Structure 1
């Protein structure tokens, strides 16, 4: 972690512990979208997910003096969110097979939460970065990795040669990796991205 990032983190955590509402806004902006995605995958209802996440931030704020580090805040939010989602689903009699499987994984404990957080964050960052790619690179990347289309199929769809499609794919991956490095994305999240594109 860079010195300036360490200073920023210390500034925000001190302000948060003092009850500064700007610090609450800082952590809200940092984690809200990822938490909504995390809760939404389990609850399969965006409005319910937003309510759960908002309640988690309310609980966080009630205990603002208890947190020593930004990592403590992040862990509290994700664990609170997981527990709230599990409690909600236990009260709901109708659950899909996907939800049942997700509940099983989440009930396995903290290690599962760690991997869920990495996956959630990598997908959130990835979706933002994909939109910043040049038009053809973005189109090819989405068709390959989000729609599972084959290279020759994409070439026929877009009226391009197979080699051109491969070139756009390679360029998209390089641009995304470069962007991740510039943003200081963690080694674990970069590994998750590399596994994603290597599947």
Structure 2
């Protein structure tokens, strides 16, 4: 019987590469709090820090078979968190620009052409993020949100369970929430 909390990071990564969920759980338990505190110090927002860490570990699990860590796991994780923080901050800047553009568009003197260009840019950004979803998840999401099919109809059409449909839609929404931030709420939750 393997005692996971006594195994080195390198051995846990090897087990993780082979799909060992307990090794993944041990890595998560070993580093989640440290990484959370690190992210929280930079972001100063508990929900964003928590989402960032969950997203990181979801990515690690999704890529566990191809995860090739040369060097120390701890360094890799901290770098991954730092990069995600930078990406989130850059995304917040874009978000601020779009919010600002919405305020300008609401003004009666706003130029309708400018508004239409910004709307097209926003739609392109949203479509780009949807297109970046894993293929099966994207297909389920588009059937749900664009064609307005029920989970049961999607399950029948794709010959999968309703539970799988529900999970795929939930995961897609989580990914898009992380990537699109405020735009996510304006678009998908209002529908």
TM over 0.5: no
TM-score when normalising by structure 2? 0.41
